[in-house]
Structure 1
Amino acid sequence: MTFTRPLRLAALAALVLLSACTTVEKPPVRTTSGPEFTPAAFEEARGVDTEHWRSALAAFRQSCTAIGSRPVWAGACSRAAAVDPAAAEDFFRANFTPWRVATVERDDRGDEVKRTETGLTTGYFEPLLYGSRTKQAPFVHPIYGVPDDLLIIDLAEIYPELKGKRLRGKLDGRRVVPYDTRGVIQNRTDLEPWAIAWVDDPVAAFFLQVQGSGRILLPDGSFMRVGFADQNGYRYRSIGNWLVKNSELKSHELSMQQIRAWAERNPDRVKEALAQNPSFIFFEERHGDPSLGPTGAQGVPLTAQASVAVDPSRWTLGTPFIIEVKQDRPALAFTRPVVAQDTGGAIRGLIRFDYFWGFGDEAGEAAGRQRSTTRAWVLVPNGFTPEDILPKR
């Protein structure tokens, strides 16, 4: 077809109009997030009582056995050793500056897109289990030590930039394959020689793995203390989410107590439920002063209601904080000084804490119900900044 000049101009005008009406998609804005610290005053964190300042001082002294030789901590640790516990609050006020913690998301230009000043605090405790060093009814559920088929590959030996990264697996012929998930381990009988204890309750054994340490009351009345030794290489996955997804529990019912109650009502489905968490913890027997708490990831005893687990990629163990927690169901609110002395598979993020309630059933009741919105202030030794105490990357 041959266009006349007027038609050609009309066609050109239509193309221009169409082009003008076409929406040109802008490339997505890339954002990065990172920590932000703002100097604050102790008065921002209201309501801390003398008892909890004393507990925080005791916890910090324990941490000083691990970090006290480092320049950033040396002065505060030296002074902490000589402080009367009655003056614990004065010690922290005189030697530390609180910095409010936030996560800030920024775009390519550096402009703030989103600021988050709250996070999550859950609770954990040192449970009491009933068991035996040998398999004998009713103690038939194993607490495994580290089996000899678990391989640990330190990637930093090959790739230095992967310092701190490890793979866990096992041999399959000449190949290294991922280690077994919990569901597989639960059905293995060849691991029995590596059992360091046997307990009477599979759900209690599962929650021991969630807590990371515990005490086992033996038939002769003595206690056996066990703690984390290694792990099968899989990330922790909450069985609570599976119970909610399958309409076994409502989301607001999720607590350790409700999960235990569900297990008692559904004994034939316990194995299936526990297998939803592929992560599996191996233990070792721990010895030490029974009057002190279990040993945390920092290698020092935990202090009830003053120790927390944190993400070690975000925080240096031994760092003190003030945390403010609030929740409605059930009601819980407090502001307390704490010290980062432990880690956990589910503890990931900047404002993410696991609060150690202590030993026994009462501590377990409190820990099992905690899921609190949290604000945090990191306490930095005077003369330093938060960047001075963050983990070196």
Structure 2
Amino acid sequence: MSVSISRHLTLHAFSRTAGPVLGTLLLASCAQFSTQPAAPTEHRPVQAPATSTTTVAPTAPVPVPPPPGTFEKARARWVPSEFSELPGWGADRPSEVMPALRQSCIKPAEGWARFCEDLRNLKPADDMVQRFWLESRLRVFRIESPEGDTAGLLTGYYEPLFEATRKPAANRRVPLHALPADLASRKPYWTRQQLDSLPAAQASVKGRELAWLEDPLDALVLQIQGSGRLRITEPDGSSRLIRLAFAGHNDQPYKSVGRWLIEQGELKASEASWPGIKDWARRNPARINEMLWQNPRTVFFREEPLPDPSIGPKGAQGVPLTPGRSIAVDPQSVPYGSLVWVDSTEPLSTRPLQRLVVAQDTGSAITGAVRADFFWGWGDEAESQAGRTRQALRSWVLWPRESAPR
């Protein structure tokens, strides 16, 4: 849910109002594909010849109506398309998206109940048969902005894993908190700086510590991603794997620490990746709090058991996310549970990233029509991919034929 690390330093982009995209959150105020402002255009009045007495009124642009069958959403429009227009459609493996699709069908979105019933009755089959089955039951719509723009942005997020202890220790002094008891009575709640330094604010979260980390930057990543895994050491010395899930935040605005470092002249825009920010922190240990306090938002967590490490965190739809097949979207553009075809490239390469994914999450940085946060999973490779993902995107919605888009 899903600013991505690449995007995204998303939290999960602060999933469920926290927000996916780590890179996007780090550089939330940066231009998507360029850091250079466009040059202003000089406009000169058109003058009639000296001998003329005619005044020519400017012609207002004539709006182009959308094609028949187009559906208007709050922040997008869906234009009828065909499977033949999906780049790479024949090369994807539908069998790989079926687990994510079945998860969404646990809580079928409006308009998907009949499709989900048919999916439950679908017998095992090869990819060609499954592709034909999807084509026979779904319609294709190209996603555009209300103005007709088909270009957008793909970022990435992941579920981090950190070592932690249940009690504070010499090398574990950074707490992760459950929801404070008085959270609803103070709007907005204490800022990050106040919670770190003001006795009255510290008293409000005393006793609410769920775990303790070594690095305050790890805590920031966990809060940005919205959930994460902890390999936690208990007081008796035993160790186990748990998940911390997003429970709420302090109702303060999110501010990008990457943007602040750029504005301070500490980093160039090209350097404000998560590795670049961590390197700056290593070189400036006395200024880490100064940097962190530029972001007043703090996220609170709840602890969840993790009996099966192969199951992802729950997204905003309320179902577990599937690595490589779940995305965070703007629900005012694409409803949860929708099948989406993404046409992009892999991070830092020209290799195509063209596949079916399921809209199962959101984030505060994920807004607009052609906008998605790609869930890479967990582990070192997922972290690396999420941190690098900031790609051009085109996308299509696949919707059940028997129901009108919602």
TM-score, normalized by length of structure 1?
0.77
How far does residue 231 in structure 1 lie from its aligned partner after superposition? 1.3
Computing the radius of gyration from Cα coordinates, the structure with the larger value is: 1
Closer/same/farther in 2, CA of residues 205 and 244 from structure 1, 3 Å limit: same
- Equivalent position of 2:266 in the other structure: 248
State the AA in 1 paired with 2:362.
T
The SS at the match of 1:139 is coil
Closer/same/farther in 2, CA of residues 240 and 332 from structure 1, 3 Å limit: farther
1:189 aligned to 190, 202, 212, which one? 202
- Equivalent position of 1:138 in the other structure: 171
2:88 aligned to 47, 50, 54, which one? 47
Mean alpha-carbon deviation: is it higher for 50-59 or for 120-129?
50-59
- Counterpart-to-counterpart distance in 2, 1:63 and 1:341: 7
The SS at the match of 2:367 is coil
- Within a 5 Å distance, the mapping from 1:1-393 to structure 2 comes to 34-47=75-88, 52-67=93-108, 70=110, 72-83=111-122, 84=124, 86-87=126-127, 88-105=130-147, 115-151=148-184, 170=186, 177-187=187-197, 188-190=201-203, 191-219=205-233, 220-288=238-306, 289-326=308-345, 329=348, 333-385=352-404, 388-389=405-406
The SS at the match of 2:176 is strand
How far does residue 51 in structure 1 lie from its aligned partner after superposition? 6.7
1:62-97: CA deviations, max 9, x gaps?
Answer: 0111116x4x11121112223326344333222211
1:5-41: CA deviations, max 9, x gaps?
Answer: xxxxxxxxxxxxxxx99999999x99x9952222112
Structure 2 residues not aligned, in runs of 5+: 1-52, 64-71
Aligned-CA RMSD value: 3.0
How far does residue 50 in structure 1 lie from its aligned partner after superposition? 6.5
Q: Is the 8 A contact 1:134 1:197 kept in 2?
A: yes
State the AA in 2 paired with 1:205.
A
The SS at the match of 2:112 is helix
State the AA in 2 paired with 1:184.
Q
- Counterpart-to-counterpart distance in 2, 1:296 and 1:74: 20
How far does residue 327 in structure 1 lie from its aligned partner after superposition? 7.3
TM-score, normalized by length of structure 2?
0.75
Q: After TM superposition, where is structure 1 displaced by more than 6 Å over at least 4 residues in a row? A: 20-27
- Counterpart-to-counterpart distance in 1, 2:343 and 2:145: 16
Mean alpha-carbon deviation: is it higher for 373-382 or for 332-341?
332-341
How far does residue 193 in structure 1 lie from its aligned partner after superposition? 1.0
Closer/same/farther in 2, CA of residues 90 and 258 from structure 1, 3 Å limit: farther
How far does residue 221 in structure 1 lie from its aligned partner after superposition? 3.1
How far does residue 328 in structure 1 lie from its aligned partner after superposition? 7.7
Q: Is the 8 A contact 1:142 1:192 kept in 2?
A: no
Closer/same/farther in 2, CA of residues 321 and 269 from structure 1, 3 Å limit: same
Identical amino acids, percent of aligned pairs? 37
- Counterpart-to-counterpart distance in 1, 2:309 and 2:59: 63
The SS at the match of 1:368 is helix
Structure 1 residues not aligned, in runs of 5+: 1-19, 106-114, 152-168, 171-176
How many equivalent pairs are there? 334
The SS at the match of 1:273 is helix
Q: Which has the bigger relative contact order, CA under 8 A and spacing at least 6?
A: 2
Q: Is the 8 A contact 1:256 1:369 kept in 2?
A: no
- Counterpart-to-counterpart distance in 2, 1:94 and 1:21: 61
Closer/same/farther in 2, CA of residues 135 and 347 from structure 1, 3 Å limit: same
Kindly indicate which of the two structures has a greater share of residues assigned to helix.
1
